[in-house]
Structure 1
């Protein structure tokens, strides 16, 4: 026989525990970790000689990077933890992995110079991400300052996927594919650490959609081109993205140098 006090303790001891809800940041963090995993797997496959799959995994990492940002905004789960995890993942997937890829594609022929050129990807990517993290805490821009590291990485992956079976187009050049790949890598690395504005995917709220309607239409066109033309579509879309950013940078320079407008981007890109 149990006395009332004993019964109360018994019920308290075996009271079912409430299951805590899954924290909001778990969903975007999952996509961030998939981004990291794709970058890691890309390095392994490239080291095994499977350059094509390694390049496609960099592209897939870029897709996961877009999804983690989208899910973070959708679930209102942006956090400092998520931002730091995203940056660490980006260094691997869009810094180390593309540097590893271009080294195995062509830069291995250049010895120490090739190693240094390959290292531009992780070095400039890390600098850009560190600057981005600092600026994100101070002010939020509706554009990227400097070429985003995913765009850099996908551009190099797309270059290989487009020309891996068309290397004969470079035979007329003095150093073959190196004559094109070296200046491309140097230019894109410089753009990463520059302050040239590049288009940013806007938030999907009513105000942002209304303000950046043309940008959303352009993103839809990008997506259709990539789906239809695949590797060539990737090369075209990201080449256009880079050229558009360069043209915007030149326009800003002209406005600041020859007009009285000190901040042409005050009203947005």
Structure 2
């Protein structure tokens, strides 16, 4: 009789698999022209991406396999899926240039994940170098949810920012700009980071009240805040 051994690491890996599954579903919906569904599936994938780490810590079941599987899932859900989404919804009109720009986002995300993996040991987990790929992907998804209309597409005043935005997101992912990590949710972390948690709560309320349309503005603010913080810190170090 064949015996199958089930370890605790299976539990977080199931969440990781759901992350990848949502990324695949997103691409299927993109291929059918269901861009809003595709965008929401990327956001749902990001929730599974957050939960797999939480579950791994709660069950004490982190593993090297889980780390690699998580990165592969992220490339699918936050690299390939949003790149295909923005290409299909707008950049297709630029032919080969559109292919290059959209694929550049995916490649930059893959590089960002690879760099993160090799820095896992011995680095300060209170911040990340470069914009995390899920945040870049959600920015693209929220762009679709906020500004894309099924029949007319993007408005002209929005079209002019799409390519610069993609290039900035790609550059930010491979940059050395520091972005603060989200503290673990606990009474102690809330006590030490009250303003940070208050801002997360306000952002969540805004997203609910606007049915997701506030996502774009929130993430653009987060990206710009990281840039200005980097510039400010650089100036202060020179003094």
Q: TM-score, normalised by structure 2?
A: 0.91
Which deviations, in whole Å up to 9, do the C-alpha atoms of 1:52-77 show, x marking residues without a partner?
A: 11111111111111111221222222
CA contact (8 A) 1:73 1:203 kept: no
Bigger Rg, which one: 1
Q: TM-score, normalised by structure 1?
A: 0.81
* 1:164 positional shift: 1.2
Q: Paired residue for 1:220, among 183, 201, 214?
A: 201
Q: In structure 2, how many angstroms separate the alpha carbons of the residues matched to 1:252 and 1:28?
A: 37
* 1:19 positional shift: 9.9
State whether structure 2 residue 170 is matched by structure 1 residue 189.
yes
1:194–1:204: structure 2 CA closer, same or farther, 3 Å change rule?
Answer: same
Which deviations, in whole Å up to 9, do the C-alpha atoms of 1:105-130 show, x marking residues without a partner?
A: 11101111100001012100010000
* 1:188 positional shift: 0.8
CA contact (8 A) 2:84 2:102 kept: yes
State whether structure 2 residue 66 is matched by structure 1 residue 73.
no
Which deviations, in whole Å up to 9, do the C-alpha atoms of 1:68-110 show, x marking residues without a partner?
A: 1221222222221111110000000000000000101111011
What is the match of residue 10 of structure 1? none
State whether structure 2 residue 179 is matched by structure 1 residue 198.
yes
What is the match of residue 27 of structure 1? 11
CA contact (8 A) 1:94 1:121 kept: no
CA contact (8 A) 1:197 1:249 kept: yes
State whether structure 2 residue 109 is matched by structure 1 residue 125.
yes
Number of matched pairs: 236
What is the match of residue 238 of structure 1? 219
User: Mind listing any 5+ residue stretches in structure 2 that lack a counterpart?
Assistant: none
- Let me know the Cα RMSD of the aligned residues: 2.1
1:209–1:81: structure 2 CA closer, same or farther, 3 Å change rule?
Answer: farther
Q: In structure 2, how many angstroms separate the alpha carbons of the residues matched to 1:70 and 1:251?
A: 33
State whether structure 2 residue 231 is matched by structure 1 residue 247.
no
Q: Paired residue for 1:144, among 128, 131, 151?
A: 128
What is the match of residue 24 of structure 2? 40
What is the match of residue 57 of structure 1? 41
Q: In structure 2, how many angstroms separate the alpha carbons of the residues matched to 1:254 and 1:110?
A: 39
